[in-house]
Amino acid sequence: MTKTGIWIGLFCSITISLPAFAQYASDAFRYSEINQTGSARFQGIGGNHASLGGDASSISGNPAGLGFYSRSEVSFSPSVTNFGTKSTYIDNSTSDSKSNFNIAQASLVITSQPSFQRKWKRSSLGISYSRQQSFQNRFSYSGLNNRSAYVDKVVDNANNANLAQSTLQQDYLPGTSTELPLAYSEAAAYYGMQYIYPTSNAGPPYGRDDRNSSSNQSGVFDSKGGNTQWTVAYAGNYDDKLYVGGSIGFTRIKYDYAHSFTDTFNNPTVFRSATQNEELSVSGNGINATFGIIYKVSPTLQFGGALTSPSFTAIKETFTQSLQADYIRGSIRDDNGNEAGPLEDYIPVAPNDFEYSITSPLRGSVGATVFLSNKGFLTGSLEYIGYGGMRVRTKFYSSSADNNAFRDDYKDEIKDTYKGAVNARLGGEYRAGIWRGRLGLAYLSDPYKFDSDDIKRDKLLFSLGAGVRNSRFFADISGTYNAFKTIYTPYVLNNAADYASAKINNNTVNVVLSIGTFF
């Protein structure tokens, strides 16, 4: 079987387990979404970047903010994030949590000496490493399902595709004394396990045993990784009024997840239980550019804005699956009464590689900052993110027609699923000598064109922070709380009433510590 043929079979298997959104449309969104970034100071004021400078967060936010620097600076911002989830699946609730240590930001700003005789006062060069998004997550779910099991999804897929028995036989290699069995599609693994069987000589329709047995279902999903960026930015200060800057960002995506789903049958006659395992490993590199401007109207008021190009990212991924089943010996016999059941209890599916590219949405932000004499400031911003403009493309297939069909299908899927989102951020800082106190609020609007399972996907982030700053040193700490809802559907069937989704309440607390020195 060709590599492309193998992929197409698994591609159908993957995408059908995500009922609300096609796989690569949701992938494009996952790798494009940014919640809150920057140093502890900027995260403590709600992630506002548009009109506030003098912080290393400007390097990857609004590079014009580097024009406010009068001294060089080096800073480091470690972070600890706790992810908590509560899942409800068929009226049963399950809670999970995990913590992750990461580097929120590390930066260097080098500022030129002032030029008092010219309108261009000074310029600054900034280099930073920043974490744009975290993919850490963990949730589990369980419940008693009286209507279906995962194997029913495999049966539906095989029947919908009208798979011939000869195809499944060709795609399954039995194990030997030295080698494990190997399947080249999910359906072939279930066929090799005798978990599904043909009801005609040709094959379809396929069936499975214990169709009326209820199942205690349980699943565990665990993911890790993030979207990080190296950024080089340069900014200038014109007459202490106009600040202009630009940057180039080099992004790195790393995402891995593992999902295990188990059916444990009540009063079984053939299989006591079956576990479907899948893993996905993704890596990618991309590039983007940002242009920003800040204008100081007066000593107490300034406006700013930034425009960030789409990130153009090349992605490589590997997807693997396996089936593990607990067969009741003697329950399948041949015409002579001899044991004829599966010889294996574990069948892996051949790994499948795929390569594609993602174009992230165009981003724009505008904002204003009001300074309260020497007591602090208030700052706010609006962001527009054109999620409907995301694109996915591939050159993986040997046929240009197939590559074009992939592009066009997902272009339509993205346009039908996502819309432009407008996010709002508000924050402030209070100053008392060398001490600082900060509060922030961010509202991230729902980017989907429709509600799925009555779940709204907007997010509300609350942040607070404190810090100390003198002529040579600063230290800041912030905490951000983020609560939102998601849906996870382990499989779908022809009849929507026969399967269930896990509704997940997500609660994330992110603590960032920033320390730095001027030179």
Q: Which comes out higher in pLDDT, residue 9 or 59?
A: 59
The string of pLDDT tens digits covering residues 46-70 is 999 999 999 999 999 999 999 999 9
β-bridge mates for residue 54, sequence order:
none
CA pair distance 205, 165, nearest whole angstrom: 10
Q: CB neighbours (10 Å) of residue 69?
A: 25
Q: Which comes out higher in pLDDT, residue 152 or 122?
A: 152
Q: Which domain holds residue 96?
A: 8-206+213-471+484-509
Q: 201: which 2 tokens?
A: 């000589």
Q: 149: which 2 tokens?
A: 């099991």
The model scores a pTM over 0.75? yes
Domain contains 408: yes
Cβ-Cβ contacts under 8 Å for 464 (sequence gap 6 or more)? 44, 438, 439, 440, 478, 479
Cβ-Cβ contacts under 8 Å for 334 (sequence gap 6 or more)? 340
Domain contains 516: no
Number of domains the chain contains: 1
Residue 473 backbone dihedrals phi, psi, to 5 degrees = -150, 150
Domain contains 87: yes
Domain contains 391: yes
Supply the DSSP string of 163-192, one letter for each residue: --HHHHHHTEE---SSS--EESSHHHHHHH
Asked if residue 63 has a cis previous peptide bond (ω within 30° of 0), the answer is: no
CA pair distance 332, 323, nearest whole angstrom: 19
The CATH number given to whatever domain includes residue 139 is 2.40.160
Supply the DSSP string of 359-420, one letter for each residue: EPPPEEEEEEEEE-TTSEEEEEEEEEEEGGG-EEE---SS-HHHHHHHHHHHHHHHHHHB-E
The string of pLDDT tens digits covering residues 383-396 is 999 999 999 999 99
Residue with tokens 């297939």: 397
The string of pLDDT tens digits covering residues 144-169 is 999 999 999 999 999 999 999 999 99
CA pair distance 292, 367, nearest whole angstrom: 12
Residue with tokens 């100081």: 296
Q: Which of 27-41, 115-129, 214-228, 254-268 has the lowest average pLDDT?
A: 115-129
Paired sense of beta strands 301-308 and 137-145, if any: unpaired
Domain contains 49: yes
Q: 291: which 2 tokens?
A: 């242009």
Domain contains 157: yes
pLDDT surpasses 70 at 441: yes
The string of pLDDT tens digits covering residues 296-323 is 999 999 999 999 999 999 999 999 999 9
β-bridge mates for residue 18, sequence order:
none
Q: 374: which 2 tokens?
A: 């020497």
Supply the DSSP string of 484-514, one letter for each residue: EEEEE-S---SSGGG---EEEEEEEEEEEEE
Domain contains 48: yes
The string of pLDDT tens digits covering residues 443-485 is 999 999 887 667 888 999 999 999 999 999 999 999 999 999 9
Domain contains 369: yes
